[in-house]
Structure 1
Amino acid sequence: MAKLFFRYSAMNAGKSTSLLQIAYNYEEQGQRVQLYTARIDDRSGVGSIASRLGIQRQADTFDEHTDFEALLSAQASLACVLIDEAQFLQPEQVRQLHRIAHRANIPAICFGLRSDFQGKPFAGAAHLLTLADDIEEIKTICACGRKATMNVRVDDQGKRVREGAQIEIGGNDRYQQACARCFYEGTTDH
């Protein structure tokens, strides 16, 4: 029986690398996978899943209007759906992926952040934590050496940003991972 999986972490833990490795493993066995990433994530170009290690691959994109059931339910030869930047999924899209796993027997493996730079949940992540049949944290470390579970937004000078829109696309130039202690003590400021 297929499942809905959620693999989450703070920034810079290797989520995209893991997704690309899973896709490779399926395809190496002659199986077909479908990759998606958020249309708003244009850090490596729209429709591109890229790892900090340098590997990159084109993927289909999703936005708030994407109907995964309409796109995927009838694809009998599909072995797996892999979704990067899953925190940007809409609640109904998470439910669609859950139904696809259980009705169409197609596993859906979602990778994303659990919370934003203020420690608030993303809607997609909150629903994945609720509906996913299998949840796993991908671990990374804070600059202090502890396990990082939070995300910190920084400005162009490396100073911590504490207010603003929930979604601002960026990579290492805009976000840092932090443990809860550093997140609350503000020791991530430069």
Structure 2
Amino acid sequence: MAKLYFRYGAMNSGKSTALLQAAYNYEERGQTVLLAKPEIDTKEADRISSRLGVTRPVDFLVRPEDDIRAIFAQHRARVHAEAESTLVPENRDVACLMIDEAQFLTREQVDDLLRIVVLDGVPVLAYGIRTDFQTHAFPGSRRLMELAHSLEELKTICRCGRKALFNARLVGGRFVFNGDQVAIDELSSERVTYESMCAECYLRESGGLLG
């Protein structure tokens, strides 16, 4: 039976690397996968990029207003048509849909991921972070935690060596604890970056605040 998987972790826990490895594993066995990510993640534009230097273009980007199940159906039909034209019957369907930065999906889009799994019979692997820089759950992550058949934490460590839980935001190298929920880490004079931290180190930097 197809399942909805949510693989989550703090920043730098290897989520994109794990996704790209999973895609490679499917394709090495002659199976077809579709890759997608929310358009709001402007870093690397239409590509998924791991911190190890591996990159790959997505099959489609998802905007907040998009019907993700309808878009998936269009790409699935394309896969069917290409398989028929090349007479490769074993590749005539999508073996898996993989979503990077799934925390940026809307609640409704996550609901449709479950429909893709249950009604369309295609497994979905969603990768993302659980909470924002103020320790609040992203809407997409919250819904995935509620609906996913399988939850898997991808672990990383804090600067102190403890397990990292939270994602602290820095602007121009200074920790900040107020602002918009989404700020993509891009190069600029006031560059936004993130650091994975354990609870103890996060509370030390925030002065005891938790959002």
- Which TM-score bucket, shorter chain as reference? over 0.9
TM normalised by structure 1 equals: 0.93
Partner of 1:65: 65
Is 1:94–2:118 an aligned residue pair? no
Q: Distance in 2 between matches of 1:7 and 1:47?
A: 21
Moved more, 65-74 or 115-124: 65-74
| AA at the equivalent of 2:30 | G
State the distance in 1 between where 2:67 and 2:26 align.
24
Aligned twin of 2:84 = none
Seen in structure 2, the aligned counterparts of structure 1 residues 23 and 72 have a Cα distance that, compared at 3 Å, is: same
Per-residue CA distance 1:109-158 (angstroms, 9 max, x = gap): 000010000001100000000000000100000000000010000011x2
Matched, 1:166 2:181: yes
Contact preservation (8 Å) 1:149, 1:177: yes
**Higher share in helix:** 2
- The 2-side partners of 1:47 and 1:37 are apart by 8
Match in the other structure for 2:26: 26
Instruction: Tell me if the contact between 2:5 and 2:124 (Cα under 8 Å) persists in the aligned partners.
Output: yes
* Contact residue 32 and residue 79 of structure 1 kept, 8 A: yes
- The residue that corresponds to 1:184 in the other structure is 203
Question: Which of 65-74 and 35-44 deviates more?
Answer: 65-74
**Aligned with 2:21: secondary structure?**
helix
Asked if structure 1 preserves the Cα contact closer than 8 Å seen for 2:33 and 2:96, the reply is yes
Work out whether 1:82 is the aligned partner of 2:113.
Answer: no
1:121 to 2:156 alignment: no
Please give the residue correspondences for 1:128-147 in structure 2 after superposition, counting only pairs within 5 Å: 128-147=144-163
- 2:169/2:192 contact within 8 Å kept: no
Take 2:149 and 2:137, find their aligned partners in 1: how far apart are those partners?
19
> Structure 2: how far apart are the matches of 1:13 and 1:139?
6
Q: Structure 2 length as normaliser, TM-score?
A: 0.84
Q: Does 1:47 align with 2:46?
A: yes
Cα separation, 2, equivalents of 1:187 and 1:40: 27
RMSD: 1.7
Judge which range, 171-180 or 48-57, deviates more.
171-180
Separation in 2, partners of 1:92, 1:174: 29
* 1:71-98: CA deviation from partner (whole Å, max 9, x where unpaired): 2247370100000000000001001000
Deviating above 6 A after TM superposition, structure 1's stretches of 4 or more consecutive aligned residues are none
8 Å contact 2:16–2:127 — kept in the other structure? yes
Report if aligned partners of 1:73, 1:104 keep a CA contact under 8 Å in 2: no
| Aligned position for 2:87 | none
Which residue of 108, 118, 122 corresponds with 2:124?
Answer: 108
Cα distance in structure 1, aligned partners of 2:96 and 2:33: 5
* Change over 3 Å in CA distance of 1:144–1:187 after alignment to 2: farther
Cα offset for 1:187? 7.7
1:9 counterpart = 2:9:
yes
Larger radius of gyration: 2
Instruction: Tell me the percent identity.
Output: 46
**Secondary structure in 2 aligned to 1:174?**
strand
